[in-house]
Chains A and B, each alone.
Chain A
Amino acid sequence: MMELNKLTIAEALAGLRSGAFTSVELTQALLKTMEASQKDIHAYVTIDAEGALAQAAEADRRRAAGEDAPLLGVPIAVKDNMNVKGQPCTASSRILEGYVAPYDATVIAKLRAAGAVFLGRTNMDEFALGSTTQTSGFGPTENPVARGCVPGGSSGGSAAAVGGDLAIAALGTDTGGSIRQPASHCGIVGVKPTYGRVSRYGVVACASSLDQVGPMTKTVEDAALLMNVLAGPDPMDATSLDEPVPDYTQAWAGADPERPLAGMTLGIPKEYYGEGLDPEVRALAEDAKARAIALGATLKEVSLPHASYGIPTYYICMTAEISANLARFDGVRYGLRVPCDDVVEQYRRTRAEGFGAEVKRRVLLGTFVLSSGYYDAYYGRAQKVRTLIRRDFEAAFAECDALLAPVTPEPAWPLGAYQDDPIRNYLSDVLTVGVNLAGCCALALPAGQTKAGKPVGVQLIGPNFGEMALFRVAKALELKK
């Protein structure tokens, strides 16, 4: 008997189209596995069994009537920071406990129109602030592959759902690596699209100049199939850009099967292979480089000279935006309220009660870097350093089609480790934040496992709207299961 929960999007669509199984059967198989895994993996904050089965039945009815759609009847998991009409949306924060989404985020409306079935909302670091999913207000998620370890974060629930076969695919958001890093730790594919490629409307804002929604999938082909649905401009998001949307599944069409990367130049950013890289992570990245050469690519060393300023710049820009975006959680219009006679006291106590420690730390840091007397030295200066970082990437892309680098300096670490050391946690983003600061696109894909069986990924980084090149390279480099 085929284990339906293990299917990819492409396999699920083939089975649904041929009539081998129904969407209700597929959804039931997933719900059964999901519910059984909640007590240990805890990938989901909320599971919507009733809604998912109703959507699956509707998809089956449409298919029986001769209809088809790009994702008709395919069950998908959604990170808990995207509004799905009528469902809770908490961004894994206690301050939004009980909140019910009054409308669909644009990405959800697009998936719904494409026929997707929504299984539930996945766990995450509170307001996407973290790299381990341990800052969730509703308890941590465990890595389904490297058991006893964190799944990464902030989209750790989505990565665990896909890596643990608890969803066919999932959506995540990436502000400084929050799709790529958990994808790497859980052995799946994750795409951080170019800033402006995918609408952010209806997504709980983390850092608005850095956030992008993207696919988290079992295969490169699945990621391309989801990007086909997600990409495009949105009148409700003024930062989404009106660039043509190609068919991403055509990225590898016509390539020479022996040398699919012939004619392509991959840049090797030397700063991303520096000291502090775990030896096994380095070895797997070197292995990916060797395979790229064997597949016809030319490798060229390039430099991102300001890479070491990425973390300080990111933690200034990001926390500044966090402190502004999270000002809306004041107990007035929605979410938790700690009632008080004085309005300022009500704000202070509501936020004290509703926010977790990491959120408070970052709101405080962001408030500081924006405060009178410090703005120019921190936020103002960081925005200029961001220009230097962006120019580094532009210069590198003048010499190559895409960059190839590790995603994280080390494999997934044990649950509970380093929790009292914020800088230790922040440094785990050192290889991912530059992409968000520059605005360009990146794709993480599995590169193998450590001797202890922990998944490790590599990332391909492309210029603005260079996703096609990333998909072409990723498809060639993808390891056969």
Chain B
Amino acid sequence: MAGFDIDRVAYLARLALTDEERKAFGAQLETIVAYVDRIAGLDVEGLPATVHGHDVNNIFREDVPTEGLPTEVALANAPARVGDEIRMPRVVE
């Protein structure tokens, strides 16, 4: 196992950590990664991946228009809104 870079992983996960969490999680995750690393010893050459319980693909329902959530209902849980839109910080430079 290569080193567990807590700062890189926390950035990718969009998770701010306190110094205390950084230390505690860093140490715990090193141990957990070392534990799950035991699958490294198995020969899996040529085996197919199991992504979920059944080998079924391309499940479609009839393409029939149905009522979606009304705007008011969809926006009712939004933490901040302007009119019929969700308010967000500026994302363009």
Where the two chains meet, the residues of A that have a C-beta atom closer than 8 Å to any C-beta of B are: 98-100, 102-103, 194-196, 208-210, 235-236, 238-239, 241, 306, 309, 311-313, 315-316, 323, 327, 330-337, 339-349, 351-352, 355, 357, 360-361, 363-365, 367-369, 371, 373-374, 377-378, 380-388, 390, 422-423, 426, 437-440, 464
Contact = CB atoms under 8 A, between A and B. Distances in A.
Decide if the interface of chain A is mainly helix, strand, loop or mixed.
helix
Given A100-B77, A312-B36, A360-B21, A439 B53 contact: yes
A344 B38 CA distance: 35
Nearest to A427: B35
A195 B44 contact: no
Interface residues of B, number: 54
A387 to B, nearest CB: 5
A448 to B, nearest CB: 32
A235 B39 contact: no
Contact of A335 (B4, B33, B79): B79
Decide if the interface of chain B is mainly helix, strand, loop or mixed.
loop
Interface in B10-27: 10, 12-18, 21, 25
B3 to A, nearest CB: 11
Given A335-B77, A352-B18, A439-B52, 15 more contacts: A195-B52, A239-B52, A239-B56, A241-B54, A312-B36, A323-B13, A333-B78, A334-B79, A336-B79, A343-B90, A364-B13, A368-B29, A382-B36, A464-B53, A464-B54
Given A312-B36, A361-B28, A364-B25, A351 B54 contact: no
Given A195-B52, A315-B36, A439-B54, A351 B89 contact: no
Nearest to A355: B15
A345 B37 CA distance: 32
B53 A196 contact: yes
Contacts of A238: 59-61
B12 A348 contact: no
A348 B21 CA distance: 14
B36 A384 contact: no
B29 to A, nearest CB: 6
Contact of A368 (B9, B52, B54): B9
B55 to A, nearest CB: 10
Contacts of B78: 333-334
Contacts of A355: 15
Contacts of A99: 77
9 contacts: A102-B77, A235-B62, A309-B42, A312-B38, A364-B29, A422-B32, A438-B53, A439-B53, A464-B54
A305 to B, nearest CB: 11
Contacts of A344: 14
